[in-house]
Chains A and B, each alone.
Chain A
Amino acid sequence: MSPALTTEKDDRAGAAAAGSPGPSGSTGSVSIAHVHKSFGRPGAAQPVLDDINLTVRPGEFVCLLGASGCGKSTLLNLIADLDKPSAGTIEVPGGRPALMFQEHALFPWLTAGKNIELALRLRGVPRADRRPRAEQLLELVRLGGAYGKRVHELSGGMRQRVALARALAQDSSVLLMDEPFAALDAITRDVLHEELTRIWRETGVSVLFVTHNVREAVRLAERVVLLSSRPGRVVRQWTVDIPQPRRIEDAAVADLSVEITEELRGEIRRHGQS
């Protein structure tokens, strides 16, 4: 245990109790300072994340990009407070962030609407307010008629939209997304990129989006952060100033993707040489 380790538990709880987060102050931001994470026994521990420093500004859309073994998912787990860093600090002043997985992770014993209502219930929303709010969230992801649908009755894209609605039901100012569209077909993914961009702008939520798809990162993000692998380190960042709405086919997206891919390949090659 390093002396640098401080827990931000109290901070988070305080901010969560203060009510629904707005764009004021640092709510909606994520500050990661000198975060290390190792797995395994002390002495023989494998470092997964090495001195990660990263800040997400309120309302910003940041994509984390990296090859296998860069610790992207580990980093999200740390931010979501599902795991503790070995050293360093993570500050999420807006309270517990919402997390969306590659698998939809919807509960199959509940309908789409009840999945969202469970998130509201666990957050302490009174019973009478849950249904209208759940329907509102389904409208937001354009699934107004899906309230009573079972998970298995929904297509892959619809499931991820319900999962997005459930994540938004947490009313967190920070949304963490762990390769949420990786398992979808290209057409559906393309549509969901547009949806996510729209919802991000409508809600003002900060998004930290993990992917290994360079074009997806450039299509979506305001800032792309490239991580190295084994251990994960921030290698380089790009500010994406291509105006929205973008398309994944845009020439500007393609140009920047080529540049980032070159850098990413260079990182991967390094591992073959050692």
Chain B
Amino acid sequence: MARVKTTRGAAAERDTDGGTESVREQAAAPTGEGESTAGDLAGLEAGLDALDAVQTKRVSPAEVLVQKVLPPIVAVAVVLALWKVLVLAKVTDDYKLPDPGLVWDALRQLWLRGELLDIIWTSVSRGLFGFLIALVIATPLGLVVARVRFIRAGLGPILSGLQSLPSVAWVPPAVIWLGLNDQMMYTVILLGAVPSIANGLVAGIDQVPPLFLRAGRTLGARGLVSARHILLPAALPGYVAGLKQGWAFSWRSLMAAEIIAKSPDLGLGLGQYLENQRNNSDMAGVLLGILLILVVGIAIELLIFAPIERRVLRSRGLLASAR
């Protein structure tokens, strides 16, 4: 706001220097030289620019705290309180609904035994590595499907269909094909994540305004040059949305695979931990497993994908808060 004011002030000064009235008369009379009105035109334009300038509001840390951080904390507290109330009211047996404190104890013991981070890392490393392979496969696939009509007609419906197939359905065939090992896990992740990343890229490319491609062509961009400088950057928001969804699918597929496939060779991930606790009839452990899967999935999204998406959208003025 302060910046805008100073520019407006400067423009006004220039106006008084030239004498607004006399300049107007000069301009009205077509005898005047072009140069005589040039300074006034510059001032006029600076004034218009200042008046029209789009102001981006800076949000203070305190506002972020109140608007973004506080609500989820309150929501979690409410859920915990409700849980505690249900336990105290004894709505069901203890082994079905344990006290929140017991879940906390289970977490503490896992941490004290030094297993917590190992379990999380086993799953996260699998999930992220599988996601990266999916990324490398799905990106060229999405490009080809979006731009080659014949391939689109053939593969497009299959890709969309695969996206709605629960990836847990791939676990039995993957076990038969590959056995109980990490390759089986990655196969299930790929079958879950590749279609959603590829579909995201296809949707992103479909939504590129034709005007951008036309503008690119008048600037001399055709074929691959156009893809590199215009098509791909223009499709980036859709692509990033696809990546986000791809991660969600990777994580879900992996958990399904980990819960179903059990083998000492596989190491202990979050899914296996959850399944082990079910076998032990340890409801507090089961709930802890679910919470950990949820928290890790959310954390990866908040730490990796949300910042990327925010950056892409903000730089294009597509983020609501940037307006």
> Which residues from chain A sit less than 8 Å from chain B, CB to CB?
80, 82, 96, 98-99, 101, 103, 105, 107-110, 118-119, 121-123, 142-143, 150-158, 166, 170, 187-188, 191, 194-195, 197-198, 201, 242-247, 249-250, 252
A143 to B53, CA, bound (A): 12
* Cβ-defined contact, B37 with A107, below 8 A: no
Within 8 A of A (CB), among B31-65: 31-32, 34, 37-38, 41-42, 44-46, 48-49, 52-54, 56
| B residues with CB within 8 A of A | 27-28, 30-32, 34, 37-38, 41-42, 44-46, 48-49, 52-54, 56, 211-212, 214-215, 217-221, 225, 229-230, 233-234, 236, 315-318, 322
B14 to A: closest C-beta gap in Å:
13
Contact present for A123 and B220 (CB under 8 Å) = yes
Interchain residue pairs A-B with the least CB separation, the first 6: A152-B317, A155-B52, A105-B215, A108-B316, A99-B218, A122-B220
A96 to chain B, nearest CB (A): 7
A249 B211 Cβ-Cβ under 8 A: no
Q: Is A150 within 8 A of B48, CB to CB? A: no
Distance between A185 CB and nearest chain B CB, rounded to angstroms:
9
**Hey, which chain A residues are within 8 Å of B322, CB to CB?**
152
A119 nearest CB across to chain B (Å): 5
Given A107-B230, A195-B41, A245-B34, answer yes or no on A170-B48 (Cβ-Cβ < 8 Å). Answer: no
29 contacts between A and B (CB under 8 A): A101-B214, A103-B211, A105-B212, A107-B215, A109-B233, A109-B316, A110-B233, A118-B229, A122-B225, A123-B219, A123-B220, A142-B45, A150-B317, A151-B317, A153-B53, A156-B52, A157-B52, A170-B218, A187-B48, A188-B48, A191-B44, A191-B45, A242-B30, A245-B27, A245-B30, A245-B32, A245-B34, A247-B30, A250-B30
CA distance A95 to B56 in the complex (A): 41
| Chain A-chain B contacts (Cβ-Cβ < 8 Å), number | 110
A107 to B230, CA, bound (A): 8
Contact present for A107 and B34 (CB under 8 Å):
no
Report the minimal beta-carbon distance from A29 to chain B, rounded to whole angstroms.
19
Q: Which of B37, B219, B229, B236 contacts A170 (CB 8 A)?
A: B219
Kindly state the separation between the CA atoms of A166 and B49 in the bound complex, as whole angstroms: 19
Contacts of B34 in A (CB 8 A): 197-198, 201, 244-245
CB <8 Å contact, B218 and A245: no
Shortest B179–chain A CB gap in Å is 45
Q: How far is the CA of A201 from the CA of B38 in the complex (A)?
A: 13
Q: Is the CB of B316 within 8 A of A150?
A: yes
- Chain A residue with the shortest CB-CB distance to B230: A107
> What residues of chain B lie closer than 8 Å to A191, measured between beta carbons?
41, 44-45, 48
* CB <8 Å contact, B48 and A198: no
Q: Write the chain A residue with the least CB distance to B37.
A: A245
Q: How far is it, in angstroms, between the C-alpha of A250 and the C-alpha of B230 when the chains are bound? A: 43
Choice from B28, B42, B44, B234 contacting A109 with Cβ under 8 Å: B234
Task: Tell me if B45 and A195 are in contact (CB < 8 A).
Answer: yes
B42 and A142: CB pair below 8 A? yes
Complex Cα distance, B315 from A151, in Å, reads 9
Q: Are B27 and A247 in contact (CB under 8 A)?
A: yes
A194→B59 CA distance, assembly (Å):
39
Tell me the complex Cα distance, A192–B152, Å. 45
Q: A96-B218, A107-B230, A155-B49 are in contact. List 4 more A-B contacts (CB 8 A).
A: A109-B233, A153-B317, A156-B52, A191-B44
Cβ–Cβ contact A82 & B54, under 8 A: no
User: Known contacts A156-B52, A242-B30; is A198 also within 8 Å of B219 by CB?
Assistant: no
Inter-subunit contact B233/A194 (CB<8 Å): no
Least CB separation from B28: chain A residue? A247
- Contact of B52 with A80 in the complex, beta carbons under 8 Å: no
Compute how far the CA of A89 lies from the CA of B54 in the bound complex, rounded to whole angstroms.
45
Q: Which residues of B contact A110 (CB under 8 A)?
A: 233
Please tell me if the beta carbons of B52 and A107 are within 8 angstroms of each other in the complex. no
Q: Which residue of B lies closest to A106 (CB)?
A: B215
Q: Are A150 and B315 in contact (CB under 8 A)?
A: yes
Measured in the bound complex, the distance between the Cα atoms of B219 and A142 in whole Å is: 22
**Across the two chains, which residue of chain A brings its CB closest to B44?**
A191
Given A108-B316, A118-B219, A198:B38 Cβ within 8 A: yes
In the assembled complex, the CB of A129 is this many whole angstroms from the nearest CB of chain B, namely 17
Shortest CB-to-CB span from B194 to chain A, Å, is: 26
Instruction: Return the chain B residue nearest A122 by Cβ.
Output: B220
Complex Cα spacing A152 to B230, Å: 18
Shortest CB-to-CB span from A182 to chain B, Å, is 15
Write out the residue numbers on chain B whose beta carbons fall within 8 Å of the beta carbon of A150.
315-317
Minimum CB–CB distance from A240 to chain B (whole Å) comes to 12
| A123 contact set on B, CB distance < 8 A | 219-220
Residue of B nearest to A111 (CB): B315
Contact B211 A101 (CB under 8 A): yes
Q: Which residues of B contact A118 (CB under 8 A)?
A: 219, 229
